[in-house]
Chain A
Amino acid sequence: AQKVTQAQTEISVVEKEDVTLDCVYETRDTTYYLFWYKQPPSGELVFLIRRNSFDEQNEISGRYSWNFQKSTSSFNFTITASQVVDSAVYFCALSGRNSGNTPLVFGKGTRLSVIA
């Protein structure tokens, strides 16, 4: 079975603070993909990043960075110098690949509120 846990239900920060969203996953697949999506109030899920299980390199994209550690089964997401526009619900998701392409399994999400 596959599972994604986002222990932080809600986080509130003041603008310009750094914030890290945690994601822990469980899977028996040796090949899998991890994703982060952002859901603004409009409802659609906006793709942020995909990482495969063989690539543990950290990634930075502007103010966003991701830390993937297979040893701890974690794929954490950091926003540097947060802005009000970052306020949204963020979802971590997993898709196994050992038995073909399996659907996305989502965590419960973390609601981030950035206060001006």
Chain B
Amino acid sequence: KAGVTQTPRYLIKTRGQQVTLSCSPISGHRSVSWYQQTPGQGLQFLFEYFSETQRNKGNFPGRFSGRQFSNSRSEMNVSTLELGDSALYLCASSTRTGGNNYGYTFGSGTRLTVV
């Protein structure tokens, strides 16, 4: 069965622009979580959605937002991009909030570069 699909794989944006990243979870998975990975801070939790509702939110500024659609697909948006937003953004899906017996299934990520 298909895994977690993230699009696009690579993205280059200019400071001040906004960006939208997409994540399609595994079929039947209703929970989608987003993580930011940078060399300095490592993997940090952004937010989690379950059945179109945000269930958890990490410690990120309001420029970072997300949503989930009725088909469980999720998008995250970053407005007014800063150089420090350059990172690998990983999406993870699960059958329920907080992961299932096999943890979360991660996608390959979107590598965002802000110039």
Q: Please encode chain A, from 92 to 110, with 1 for each CB lying within 8 Å of some chain B CB and 0 for all others.
A: 0101010011111111110
Which residue from B4, B48, B101, B111 sits with its C-beta under 8 Å from A103? Answer: B48
Q: Is the CB of A44 within 8 A of B106?
A: yes
Q: Could you say which of B61-69, B72-80, B91-99 contacts chain A?
A: B91-99
Q: Given the interface contacts A45-B106, A47-B105, does A102 sit within 8 Å of B56 by beta carbon?
A: yes
Is A71 an interface position by the 8 A CB rule?
no
| List of A residues within 8 angstroms of B103 by Cβ | 33, 35, 37, 47, 50, 104
| List of B residues within 8 angstroms of A101 by Cβ | 96-99
| List of A residues within 8 angstroms of B44 by Cβ | 106
Total residues of chain A contacting the partner, CB 8 A: 24
Interface magnitude class on chain B: 20 to 34
CA distance A104 to B35 in the complex (A): 9
Q: Which residues of B contact A (CB under 8 A)?
A: 4, 33, 35, 42-45, 48, 56, 58, 88, 90, 92, 96-99, 101-109, 111
Is A68 an interface position by the 8 A CB rule?
no
Q: Is the CB of A50 within 8 A of B98?
A: no
| List of B residues within 8 angstroms of A35 by Cβ | 103
Q: Given the interface contacts A103-B48, A103-B58, does A95 sit within 8 Å of B98 by beta carbon?
A: yes
Instruction: Name which residue of chain B comes closest to A36, CB basis.
Output: B103
B24 to chain A, nearest CB (A): 14
A35 to chain B, nearest CB (A): 5
